[in-house]
Structure 1
């Protein structure tokens, strides 16, 4: 099992040109799914369709290690692992290992560039020291014109040096993200493709690629890192009629809570329905705040962006079914309409016309 998993991971983290090709990505993903199927079939001795911790223990030295390994696959914590959980866990290990290899590669590239800059500075300092040792008088005489030249270069490259220093702090000290992290900048979700010493490349969810200077991100933007976040909450609003009974609202909340309780693989269980505001005595706006578990494989956040929308869509469909069953509706309020008479130009209420009819 370990050898096959290592082989798949090695295929996912190739360092040659094939690593970035679509064919190699598809092949590695297919290999991960194939391995997950073999692992599940090999561990499922009783052919019950799920795996338990007891089936892991023969392959580990002690029960504690087996329990730790079982938690890696049992993301919903219900005590068993089905085929989908096994496939998602192996695919997650592949993706995280590949992202880690890419992140280390980018970090190594940034360090090498920084190393080149520091080596250049060290070389200049060494040259000046040797000049002072072998020709102190001549070197002192040349300092004045050289100082003028250095001062001129400071105006040209001063901003670049400032950006370099800020980028160094941003990448090596703050280090707000890694490759393939999902982040929010100005409420816009983006994935980190690669980062360097001066800039970072992002990819938006619609496929657009954005290159942002690190100096702009440093101290000027708030960065929300989804991968490093825990369980995330999401809010949506539903408008209902003002004359909706409170018992119906309570039943609406009860059924939604039961829905998230019945789906522990997708939801953590926290859900509430609160009245947000009342307007014109004809509308109640409900603030529905479900506690989201954004995939069991990503520790209850939105790192798996597509899966997050799949779960949200399922909840919206369930809300629609419950509202239909409870006859929860909302219609625009009736507005008075007045007609202008051609004789005296005085408004004539439409309600009186309807009443006369």
Structure 2
């Protein structure tokens, strides 16, 4: 176990290049993945070496050149292929390798923080065991320690009175950290309706980064143990819901065509979305507005918030394109305006009386 933890904490991802004969890579450090950029380069290199020249995906036959059929099938399923005929694209391989590196880095950080917490707990237990061993040793030697034990008991009673709440807090924090353990370092969580990323885990507190502005927030573990905590990283693939509305007079043919095109777009992006999305009517309001809803399942959970919003934006852009091409519109309800009285016209610029009389005189003379 110690060797495994040491490898995870201090090691790095490596490719099969180091096992390939006649490899032109002499520097062993160049074959290890230590950053996301190196992970992307490794994915590109693997794709060009495994896929057929000119092909846009890695097929099952390509993998069977390097491994058995059963292992090749497991690899295809691991990389996101749902069937044998479906290939592994460049983007899928790239995303998988980058995610593998991120998970390993998060595991390394989590092990570091857990090791620190375990060391602190170990020191506390060492002090307690030392006291117990000292008392047992004095009893074995036959030394009269009755007065000493009375003194120690009185001091313990005083310590419990003074540090009782602290001991209770430490015990609750230990239970939360090592038994409940609702998150690890790097997980995206939701506490009190706020999305946070776990940055550091200690025995008494946990340090988070708020997703909106990277503000550092520290929560006591005893307080976190009483709160419901959502963990996006440990959640399965999550559902995206997009709501919109159309006018009630929209022909059903247009609505059917709209549903077909939206579903077709989602099912054509197999790397981003699961199959069988749903476009349904959710409600009718004010006898003129039909509320509709698109429900599609991502091929990721909302731990990857940035990729989630990119895919959602692409889907919304495609929906807007479909709306414009099918001339789908929404109109407000008509309403009547009745005018009962017109206010009298009042001029703010009044002419001099003599000028008006002169004008009337000239008019009458002419």
- TM-score tier after normalising by the smaller chain length: 0.7 to 0.9
Q: Is 1:172 the counterpart of 2:178 in the alignment?
A: yes
Report if the CA contact (8 A) 1:183-1:226 is conserved.
yes
Question: How many residue pairs are counted as aligned between the two chains?
Answer: 319
The 1:330–1:8 alpha-carbon spacing in structure 2 relative to 1, beyond 3 Å, is farther
Moved more, 68-77 or 110-119: 68-77
The one-character-per-residue Cα deviations of 1:308-348 (angstroms, maximum 9, x if unpaired) are 111000111111112222332223434555667589xxxxx
Q: 2:218 aligns with which of 190, 197, 211?
A: 211
Q: Is 1:322 the counterpart of 2:322 in the alignment?
A: yes
Pairing of 1:314-353 with structure 2 (within 5 A): 314-335=314-335, 341=341
The corresponding residue for 2:110 is 103
Pairing of 1:36-115 with structure 2 (within 5 A): 36-60=43-67, 62-75=68-81, 79-115=86-122
Pairing of 1:111-190 with structure 2 (within 5 A): 111-134=118-141, 137=144, 139-190=145-196
Structure 2, unmatched stretches of 5+, are: 1-14, 20-27, 344-366
The corresponding residue for 2:295 is 289
The 1:249–1:106 alpha-carbon spacing in structure 2 relative to 1, beyond 3 Å, is same
Mapped to 2, the partners of 1:34 and 1:269 lie a distance apart of 30
Report if the CA contact (8 A) 1:76-1:265 is conserved.
no
The one-character-per-residue Cα deviations of 1:210-264 (angstroms, maximum 9, x if unpaired) are 221111111x222222222222112222132233344433332222111111111
The corresponding residue for 1:22 is none
1:293 Cα deviation after fit: 2.1
Mapped to 2, the partners of 1:292 and 1:281 lie a distance apart of 34
Mapped to 1, the partners of 2:81 and 2:273 lie a distance apart of 11
Pairing of 1:187-202 with structure 2 (within 5 A): 187-202=193-208
SS at match of 1:267: coil
The 1:41–1:279 alpha-carbon spacing in structure 2 relative to 1, beyond 3 Å, is closer
The 1:74–1:271 alpha-carbon spacing in structure 2 relative to 1, beyond 3 Å, is closer
The corresponding residue for 1:312 is 312
Report if the CA contact (8 A) 1:226-1:303 is conserved.
yes
Mapped to 2, the partners of 1:145 and 1:332 lie a distance apart of 85
The one-character-per-residue Cα deviations of 1:80-103 (angstroms, maximum 9, x if unpaired) are 122222222222221111111111
The 1:168–1:269 alpha-carbon spacing in structure 2 relative to 1, beyond 3 Å, is same
1:108 Cα deviation after fit: 1.3
The one-character-per-residue Cα deviations of 1:140-191 (angstroms, maximum 9, x if unpaired) are 2344454333223223322222222222222211221222222222332222
Mapped to 2, the partners of 1:149 and 1:335 lie a distance apart of 84
Report if the CA contact (8 A) 2:274-2:296 is conserved.
no
Q: 2:268 aligns with which of 245, 262, 268?
A: 262
The corresponding residue for 1:273 is 279
Pairing of 1:217-232 with structure 2 (within 5 A): 217-218=224-225, 220-232=226-238
Q: Which has the larger radius of gyration?
A: 2
The corresponding residue for 2:16 is 2
Task: Report the RMSD for the aligned CA atoms in angstroms.
Answer: 2.7
Moved more, 145-154 or 251-260: 145-154
The corresponding residue for 1:346 is none
The 1:114–1:73 alpha-carbon spacing in structure 2 relative to 1, beyond 3 Å, is same
